Chains A and B, each alone.
Chain A
Amino acid sequence: MRVLGIESSCDETGIAVYDGDFGLRAHCIYSQANMHSEYGGVVPELASRDHVRKILPLIQQTLCEANIDKKSLDGVAFTAGPGLVGALMVGASVARSFAWGLGIPALGVNHLEGHLLAPMLEKESPDFPFLCLLVSGGHTQIVLVKEIGRYSLLGESIDDAVGEAFDKTAQLLGLGYPGGPALAHIAERGDPERYRFPRPMLNREGFDFSFSGLKTSVITAYKKLPDEQVEQEKSHIARGFEEAVVETLVTKTQRALEIAQVNRLVVAGGVAANNRLRAAMIRMADESGVKVFFPRLEFCSDNGAMIALAGCLRLTAGQSENLEIRASARWPLMSLQPPA
């Protein structure tokens, strides 16, 4: 089965063609980040306006790069939530109508399911069951994945998502928006010992996270600095922040692996692109006899490939939907079912 995937849940338009037999055929991503950076955050109305301009040219480009005629598609998958509902509705409208025009099925895919299945786009792909640490701008969750659609939530952030903490800290340090990657970049030059920020909830049982206290500690440290030291201390603060986040994520994930008794780990979502997190997870996995899987860097952030893949798996299993064009801002992973 050959499926076109459409992702439009936030500020990236992602399109891909995934083939059940031959894997990923082509994918394109258009990021609106530059447009939103002037506003210091994603402006939902502007995001929707951009999706409706970019989505079809991007579909055409993807089909062209895959050298595939649209008439040879067998299905269309689109992100139906969670995300910005206006942006989602653009993808849903185009996807459903395009599929209707071709006389093929369309399926709304859960964005988070897309993320946690993303490592399956790689040659070396995890078998079920596996544990997934999902870390992005909107989510921080530890999920036990028994099979597609059978998920148990072991823990999640009780306040800010980890990607959000990265972006907010970066904004504080004057690194613009979205500043997560820029923060990681200046942290490279930072001294890991200079600032020791709290490891939130590390000494508590369970697998929940909290990052808003860490953010407050960073703000406090930053505000204490005399003006002339700000520039040189920035990288140390960034590094201290990153160390705290990484240690927290690694330690909780390690505990969850022990409790769940699985030896496969997936780290997915935008923050999974962070080098220091990847390195620390690999170290921990080696020590614990666990095999760790990451999506390639470009499939950590939002993309159409993961949506095409998830849609392909579900459509192949026979899942179908009616012609209603629908999307929802909220759609918890735990409410999903295996394909009927």
Chain B
Amino acid sequence: MALLVDGVLYERYQETPREHSKIILPMIDELLKEAGVNRQQLDGVAFGRGPGSFVGLRIGAGVAQGIAFALDLPVAPVSTLAAIAQRCYRETGAEQVLAAIDARMQEVYWGMYCLNRDKIMTLQHEEMVCAPEKVMTPKTDDWVGAGSGWSTYAETLEQQVSDRLRKNNGFLLPTAYDIAIIGQALFDQNLEVPAEQAVPVYLRDKVAEKPKRTLHTH
């Protein structure tokens, strides 16, 4: 959870598997109190739109929708892969980041990010979900790997990117701070969306098999 007030950061962070839902609103309350801001003074809501855990994404999207609609605020949907890349830049100065999130089922969510003039990590090509041995690799040198995919599939991904990789930064979670930074940039560029469009981007869209048609001749 992060609150940006004219560039000043207020942040709360808690790693709580399956507990987001319990603490998310109380945390927002506390954070606003600490910053001395009341909810009517908010100008926008940025949220991690995915990819990631489906259930977690929907809680985040639902909360963003509810707050934004109640307070008539615009929403900035921020990629969790971009947030990882942004954090990697913020913490290590890396300007070219290969963000990978462990997507389970022997796959990763994958995106290639470069720093733009406004110091915001920007997607090159497109985000994808695929096996770690099938990720799209960069054609230039000096890339840094970051995200849970880089710890689960360290060997495979390092092999894939091979000498284009400067460093595997390994496990790095997206933070609300970086989501707020990218969100701010989206607002500055008028790339916000209305509350009802605050929906997750799952990347993995094939989640059920249609049964083969059985003829009911009995």
Contact = CB atoms under 8 A, between A and B. Distances in A.
Interface string A185-222: 00000000000000000000000000000000000001
Given A89-B21, A323-B26, A96 B207 contact: no
A325 B199 CA distance: 18
Interface stretch (B64-72, B107-115, B158-166, B178-186): B64-72
B62 A324 contact: no
B207 A45 contact: yes
A45 B59 contact: no
A93 B195 CA distance: 14
Given A98-B70, A225-B218, A53 B21 contact: no
B67 A324 contact: no
A101 B39 contact: yes
B16 interface: no
A13 to B, nearest CB: 13
B196 interface: yes
Q: What is the interface residue range for chain B against chain A?
A: 35 or more
A99 B71 CA distance: 10
B69 A70 contact: yes
Contacts, number: 126
Given A39-B211, A97-B63, A324-B23, 13 more contacts: A49-B58, A52-B65, A52-B200, A56-B65, A89-B58, A98-B66, A98-B67, A98-B70, A100-B25, A100-B66, A323-B29, A324-B25, A325-B25
Interface of B: 21-26, 28-29, 39, 54-55, 58-59, 61-71, 195-196, 199-200, 202, 207-211, 216-218
23 contacts: A39-B209, A45-B208, A48-B58, A49-B58, A52-B62, A52-B65, A55-B62, A56-B196, A60-B69, A86-B55, A90-B62, A93-B61, A93-B62, A97-B25, A97-B62, A97-B67, A100-B28, A101-B69, A101-B70, A174-B216, A323-B29, A324-B22, A325-B25
